[in-house]
């Protein structure tokens, strides 16, 4: 049991990566759509790019959404309205009319006239209640079919325009009286019937809605069928009309038949295999080519976190509306990774992420081609991200690449530009604008994961910062030395393609530990008094060596990033404090060499190796008397060759060719510093 615990402890970093790998795989699979992906990509109006397609099984042709909507609209227009009628109302109105008529019209009228008027009134009632009088105002088309129910039984059918609304009473009275040439009695009859007419039609809304719903439920969602082995579409044929509908029906049939519940676990398993394979390639890349990143769990977590974020955003947009998939700023991923790591890692991770997204987006080949090309352009064009203009220029170039690539694909598919979808170009512009969000995102990641980008390095390089101000006041000689080393290191880094900003910042802070005992270092001994004269060589060596440890403590108190502290740790490697070692050796030939050596570690990157070279050369150059080009050449060669003999660069990924280039730069810079000129004959 104890051995097992010890083994787990020794391999806890690998265990964490395994847990991260598994959890990321399952999270991405969880975000993916829970169905298989139709193996053919097609778009309406574009040529069929695959081979001739034959029906793999019998299936029905589904109607399009537009067809179904049209059918349902016709049903709604033709569906009748149902009204309940009260058949006793006309009789009651006639009885009340006879009473009111006798009161209104006096005996002064002749019997024939009186009879004529009475018959006209009865005709008015018959016209009003021929189909019925409405009890409310309704907004329906005049031609809308109406069925009148009496005791739930259909009594008659008519159109809504034949039903009488209360505000139409005067018009009906006038029309009837005009037929009998009694129109001059219209006012009297209108006044009479205003109090007599009783509505007898009530709209049966519930029954009308139920009948409409029954008719809608009977709408067929399919029309016709396709038999197995029937040719659906040929290669190069344009996908439109019935062909498009058949293909959509086949895709839907796959979802209902092929991707059923019994196959769900297999589909999830297949997705898991593909995602795991892609993420495994990413881990293997880190282990083989970026071992320092692979061994840092925070950095590995950061990379996987960014992949998950991109998958999450894309799946959300695809679920909402796949037409907006190009709004997702995928190029933020290589931008962020390049800011914190390097271009090669950024591009590799970008490609892996795009391959994963190709499983869920429509037109996956076109999508992957556009995004990979855009990622390559991002890596190639973005440099010195801390300069705002560079980011805007790069985003403009990325957007232009989107435009060109999409235009090319569209012409290939359509064969013309007449139906070009200009709104897609708007999506690319929105994507470019969203990519500009990378700056605040980088700042957030720095705080969240404790990483350092070039933007932060630019802030740290400000010599007016609190810590560098303190260094210039406390140890002015050391500050001046650090500035010189920074200039040399930056030039050397530019020569071999290393991170110039990082090495410059490392050079500015590499000797901050000397602030603790500034006068014990020769560059700060302005008075000519050397306190080492009163100390034993071993004590002097300890003070000199401890400036590395003191520097790390000061850096931690001032929250300097680990990438900067690496320069403090490694700028002397495991070299020997040679002067005091020789001094002690004169006193005690049995002196231990280890007591006069820096604790290390040795430089483990190009940048830290560059700083070691430049620091040693700049410090030792102060001892040159009457420097010449030959002296400087021999001087630089001897120092750097000695460091190589001591295996100080054995852990750094720097080549002999690069070291030779650095030697050349240092020789040129020192020659400029000492203002060497060609001696002209008198």
Q: What is the DSSP letter of 196?
A: T
- Amino acid 494: pLDDT: 92
Task: Identify which of 577, 660, 657 has the alpha carbon closest to the alpha carbon of residue 613.
Answer: 660
Kindly tell me if the per-residue pLDDT of 111 is higher than 60: yes
Task: Identify which of 377, 386, 383 has the alpha carbon closest to the alpha carbon of residue 432.
Answer: 377
Sketch out the chain's domains with CATH numbers. Answer: 74-216 (no CATH), 262-449 (no CATH), 454-673 (1.10.3210)
Q: What's the pLDDT band for 387 if we cut at 50, 70, 90?
A: low
Phi, psi for 235 (deg, rounded to 5): -65, 130
Q: What's the pLDDT band for 108 if we cut at 50, 70, 90?
A: low
Cβ neighbourhood burial of 459 (10 Å; 0-12, 13-18, 19+): exposed
Q: Which two tokens stand for residue 111?
A: 């019997």
Q: What's the pLDDT band for 185 if we cut at 50, 70, 90?
A: confident
Cβ neighbourhood burial of 589 (10 Å; 0-12, 13-18, 19+): exposed
Give long-range contacts, CB 8 A cutoff, 24+ apart: 268-273.
Answer: 268/29, 268/34, 270/36, 271/29, 271/32, 271/359, 272/25, 272/26, 272/29
Q: What's the pLDDT band for 680 if we cut at 50, 70, 90?
A: very low
Q: Which stretch of 38-42, 125-129, 185-189, 514-518 has the lowest confidence by average pLDDT?
A: 38-42
Q: What is the dihedral of CA 501, 502, 507, 509, to 10 degrees?
A: 110
Cα 15-19-22 angle, rounded to 5 deg = 135
Q: What's the pLDDT band for 484 if we cut at 50, 70, 90?
A: very high
pLDDT tens across 54-87, in order?
Answer: 887 777 888 877 788 888 999 998 899 999 999 8
Kindly tell me if the per-residue pLDDT of 255 is higher than 80: no
In whole angstroms, what is the distance from residue 540 CA to residue 535 CA? 6
Instruction: Quickly tell me which residue has 């006041």 as its tokens.
Output: 473
Q: What is the DSSP letter of 450?
A: -
The total of other beta-carbon atoms located within 10 Å of residue 521's CB is: 19
The total of other beta-carbon atoms located within 10 Å of residue 518's CB is: 19
Cβ neighbourhood burial of 623 (10 Å; 0-12, 13-18, 19+): exposed
pLDDT tens across 279-314, in order?
Answer: 999 999 999 988 878 988 999 999 999 999 999 999
* 3-state secondary structure (DSSP) of residue 216: helix
Cβ-proximal residues to 682 (8 Å cutoff; 6+ apart), any chain: none
pLDDT tens across 583-628, in order?
Answer: 888 888 888 888 889 998 999 889 999 999 999 999 888 877 777 8
Does this model's pTM top 0.75? My answer is: no
Q: Which two tokens stand for residue 162?
A: 């034949």
pLDDT tens across 520-542, in order?
Answer: 898 888 777 888 888 888 898 89
Phi, psi for 108 (deg, rounded to 5): -65, -20
Estimate the crossing angle of helix 169-179 against helix 111-128, to 10 degrees: 140
Q: Which stretch of 242-256, 329-343, 417-431, 502-516 has the lowest confidence by average pLDDT?
A: 242-256
Using CA of residue 88, residue 89, residue 90, residue 93, what is the dihedral sign?
positive
- Amino acid 310: pLDDT: 94
Q: Are strands 145-150 and 81-85 parallel, antiparallel or unpaired?
A: parallel
Phi, psi for 146 (deg, rounded to 5): -130, 135
In whole angstroms, what is the distance from residue 270 CA to residue 176 CA? 81
Q: What is the DSSP letter of 524?
A: G
User: How is 94-129 classified by DSSP, letter by letter?
Assistant: HHHHHHHHHHHS-TTS-HHHHHHHHHHHHHHHHHHT
Q: What's the pLDDT band for 256 if we cut at 50, 70, 90?
A: low
Q: What's the pLDDT band for 257 if we cut at 50, 70, 90?
A: low
pLDDT tens across 330-381, in order?
Answer: 999 998 998 888 889 999 999 999 999 988 887 788 889 989 999 998 888 7
Q: What is the DSSP letter of 57?
A: S
Q: What is the dihedral of CA 147, 151, 152, 156, to 10 degrees?
A: -20
pLDDT tens across 619-664, in order?
Answer: 888 877 777 888 888 889 999 999 999 999 999 989 999 999 999 9
Q: Which two tokens stand for residue 214?
A: 């029954």
- Amino acid 616: pLDDT: 92
pLDDT tens across 140-180, in order?
Answer: 888 899 999 988 888 889 999 889 887 888 888 888 888 88
Using CA of residue 126, residue 130, residue 135, residue 141, what is the dihedral sign?
negative
Rounded mean pLDDT of the chain?
85
Phi, psi for 22 (deg, rounded to 5): -65, -45
Q: Is the peptide bond prior to 18 cis by the omega test (within 30 degrees of 0)?
A: no
Strand partners, 84: 149, 202
Cα-atom radius of gyration of the chain, to the nearest Å? 45
Cβ atoms of residues 549 and 565 within 8 Å: no
């Amino acid at each position: 049991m104890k051995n097992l615990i010890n083994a787990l402890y020794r391999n806890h970093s690998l265990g964490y990566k395994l847990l991260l790998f598994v959890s990321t795989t399952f999270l991405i699979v969880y975000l993916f759509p829970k169905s298989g992906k139709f193996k053919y990509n097609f778009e309406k109006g574009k040529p069929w790019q695959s081979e001739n397609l034959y029906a793999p099984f019998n299936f029905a042709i589904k109607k399009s959404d537009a067809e179904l909507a049209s059918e349902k609209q016709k049903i709604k227009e033709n569906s009748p309205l149902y009204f309940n009628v009260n058949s006793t109302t006309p009789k009651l109105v006639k009885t009340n009319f006879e009473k009111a008529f006798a009161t209104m019209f006096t005996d002064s009228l002749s019997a024939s006239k009186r009879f004529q008027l009475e018959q006209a009134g009865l005709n008015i009632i018959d016209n009003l209640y021929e189909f019925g009088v409405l009890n409310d105002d309704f907004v329906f088309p005049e031609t809308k079919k109406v069925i009148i129910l009496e005791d739930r039984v259909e009594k008659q059918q008519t159109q809504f325009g034949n039903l009488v609304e209360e505000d139409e009473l005067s018009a009906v009275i006038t029309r009837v009286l005009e037929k009998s040439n009694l129109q001059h009695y219209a006012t009297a009859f209108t006044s009479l019937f205003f109090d007599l007419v009783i509505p007898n039609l009530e709209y049966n809304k519930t029954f009308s809605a139920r009948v409409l719903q029954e008719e809608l439920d009977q709408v067929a969602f399919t029309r016709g069928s396709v038999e197995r082995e029937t040719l659906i579409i040929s290669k190069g044929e344009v996908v439109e009309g019935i062909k498009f509908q058949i293909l959509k029906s086949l895709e839907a049939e796959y979802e209902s038949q092929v991707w059923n519940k019994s196959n769900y676990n297999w589909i999830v398993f297949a997705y898991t295999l593909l995602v795991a394979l892609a993420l495994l390639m990413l881990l293997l890349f880190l282990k083989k080519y970026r071992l320092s990143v692979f061994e840092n769990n925070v950095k590995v977590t950061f990379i996987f976190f960014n992949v998950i974020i991109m998958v999450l955003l894309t799946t959300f947009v695809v679920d909402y509306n796949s037409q907006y998939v190009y709004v997702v700023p995928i190029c933020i991923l290589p931008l962020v990774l390049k800011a914190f790591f390097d271009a090669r890692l950024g591009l590799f991770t970008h490609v892996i992420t795009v391959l994963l997204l190709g499983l869920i987006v429509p037109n996956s080949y076109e999508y992957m081609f556009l995004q990979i090309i855009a990622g390559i352009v991002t890596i190639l064009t973005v440099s010195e991200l801390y300069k705002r203009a560079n980011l805007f220029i790069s985003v403009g170039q990325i957007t232009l690449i989107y435009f060109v690539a999409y235009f090319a694909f569209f012409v290939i598919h359509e064969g013309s530009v007449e139906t070009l979808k200009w709104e897609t170009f708007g999506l690319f512009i929105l994507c470019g604008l969203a990519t500009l969000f990378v700056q605040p995102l980088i700042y957030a990641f720095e705080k969240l994961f404790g990483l350092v980008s070039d933007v932060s390095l630019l802030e740290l390089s400000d010599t007016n910062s609190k810590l560098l101000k303190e260094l210039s006041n406390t140890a002015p000689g050391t500050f001046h030395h650090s500035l010189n080393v920074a200039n040399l290191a930056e030039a050397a880094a530019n020569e071999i393609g290393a991170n110039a900003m990082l090495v410059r910042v490392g050079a500015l802070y590499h000797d901050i530990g000397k602030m603790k005992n500034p006068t014990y270092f020769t560059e700060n001994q302005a008075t000519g008094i050397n306190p080492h004269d009163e100390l034993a060589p071993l004590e002097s060596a300890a003070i000199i060596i401890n400036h590395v440890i003191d520097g790390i403590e000061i850096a931690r108190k001032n929250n300097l990033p680990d990438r900067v502290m690496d320069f403090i740790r490694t700028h002397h490697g495991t070299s020997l404090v040679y002067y005091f070692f020789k001094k002690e050796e004169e006193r005690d030939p049995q002196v231990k060499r280890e007591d006069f050596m820096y604790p290390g570690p040795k430089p483990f990157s190009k940048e830290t190796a560059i700083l070691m070279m430049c620091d040693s050369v700049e410090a030792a150059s102060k001892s040159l008397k009457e420097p010449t080009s030959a002296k400087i050449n021999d001087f630089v060669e001897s120092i750097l060759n000695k460091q190589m003999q001591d295996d100080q660069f054995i852990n750094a990924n720097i080549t002999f060719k690069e070291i030779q280039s650095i030697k050349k730069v240092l020789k040129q810079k020192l020659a400029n510093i000492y203002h060497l000129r060609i001696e002209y004959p008198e």
